Structure 1
Amino acid sequence: MSTTTLPTRLSLRGITKRYPGTVANDGIDLAIAPGEIHALLGENGAGKSTLMKIIFGVVQPDAGSIVWEGQPLVMRDPAQARERGIGMVFQHFSLFETLSVAENIALALGAGAGTPKQLEPRIREVSQRYGMPLEPQRLVHSLSIGERQRVEIVRCLMQDIRLLILDEPTSVLTPQEADELFVVLRRLAAEGCSVLFISHKLNEVRALCQKATVLRAGKVSGTCVPSQCSDLDLARLMVGDAEGLEAKYRKAEGRAAFLQVEGLSWRNADPFGVSLKDLSLDVRAGEIVGIAGVAGNGQDELLALLSGERTLQGRDAERIRFLGEPVAHLRPDARRRQGLA
């Protein structure tokens, strides 16, 4: 469906939300047309989730206005948002695991929608129609992660859905499940439903979304057509000038290490645990250092030694140094007093 000749479905004007010590949203403008898949991008803490909660009525803005299908609207709560045809699938699912699919959907739709038994045929019909088959009588705890997300989406589709908000929907999905989700979203958009899609996966955004709004530090840093941008273009909007960041990193490289781990070995007494062997790393001023690896390969053990949950004595205390001083023998409170938390 063409979005160029249709009026704006949702328009946010100057949305601002303040919390003690921070401005989560600072004068944000955003417009979404019917049938448009619109991405909302930004680093963690950029203000994306706060903005979505404002649209869905979970949070009230301190300033700014919401215009829904041409009419000013004060979104008081999620029930009002659902009445307007707005559905949201949160990153962390809000399902009761001991209840069935039909019972969960009935709870969300309210008594007026019918009993779980009455909803079962409609659940089957809607889920089959959009290629997300569900068995209404199955208990949620027996479903896979992908199937649980289907329940959340079908719950939204059981309404007269006009805007579907998805917060990091592919973060828990396999690539095959993500592809299946994109088929559903494209079909919804073709039927005129607007989709607001939050993701950190830029390749998905470029493949799926027709437009993107990028937030940085609570403000709109730019808008673009993702298919016409490279990942680097989108990353610059999200985090700022790439050359400037690279210069800061080069500057940090020349600084003394705040934290030094040298030749760290530690034998885990747990026969099912992981021991560390000759591990070394430096963390310099201004650096963010990642510890990567499949879970269960020593990350927990390393963090326990760095935090002071586990200590080392004698010459091994020299293996971990903070600001040049050995700290591996210190408990967590002593390390915190030195500035290591």
Structure 2
Amino acid sequence: MLQLLGKHKRQKILEHLSYELRDMVSQLLEFDPNTAAGLMNVDYIQVDADDEVATVAKKFKLHEKRTGRLPIILVMRDEKLTGFLPGHELGFGRPGEKITRYIKRIHTIKHSASHDEVTEQFRSHPHSKVAVINDNGDAIGIIYSDDVLNLMQEQESASLYGFAGVSAEETVTDSAKRKVKFRYKWLIINLATAFLAAFTVGLFEETITKYVLLAVYMPIVAGMGGNAATQTLAVVVRGIALRQIDLKSAYATLRNELGAGFINGLINGFIVALVVLAKDNEPAIALVLALAMVINLLVAAMFGTIVPLVMSKLHKDPASSATVFITTATDVLGFMAFLGLATIILA
């Protein structure tokens, strides 16, 4: 919250804090809130691996008395983090015993890691905490799984809002005026793209008039293309967030997505062709619909991969900004493939 305030207001608040708390908060404010350091807690003490139980217990109690909070005990060896000591182990060890036998492993993460990298580490290696280290390998804080869980919930909400073209700032209690403010721009853009799709369909008015059955199956082409594109977009956006892919390294991903799109197009095209044959006994239209399905799922794979990467390269949010362009591509090119093939095959 403090990082959202101006420097003057922030300083005023800090002046009313105790020295210990002010020092801790000032340390946290130095870091980018969108990195691992922005999530970390600084309630920890550092002890040496050769320290005795009594020495560590004294430091533990001193920190608790001074701050009112129980610290994490980080264990150092040769000035490098080697693990942590669970607080309850202090009750089992003898006062003169070294803590070496009680040290547990702790995962680490760089202070500059993005929030997505933090959540990915917790997903890959489930644990209750990780130590945050600086560029020199020194421990500077702790991130708890509860904080990451809250972060993941926020990210999921933001992604959901982005795919829907809604601002993450909007809430269910907002006034109608505020909701309009957040939504109208995307709706106008969507309206423009809808007109583009309608114009494309209008180019084949003569074909549709002659073969009215085509109009019945047009929503299937658009709907399947949109759904397939959303699937690809979700995977690529996650890859971008985790820095697994960028525009330069997109070839392998694009190849795999096109392969998946082609196979899914064949499967779904075969199914829809069977339905048309069984229901309407129109082999030519069944063939047109099957081919259009393959083409549109290839379009979905291509645009679902490339568009978010381009948006990311332009420093735009790929989740929200890519959706409208991908939907336009699948609608326009899907209708063009379906009605174009119909014009050729049914002529």
The question of a shared fold, defined as TM-score above 0.5 by the shorter chain, is answered with: no
The structure whose residues are more often helix, as a share, is 2
Higher relative CO (CA 8 A, sep ≥ 6), structure 1 or 2? 1
The structure richer in strand per residue is 1
Q: TM-score, normalised by structure 2?
A: 0.26
Q: Which structure has the larger Rg over C-alpha atoms?
A: 2
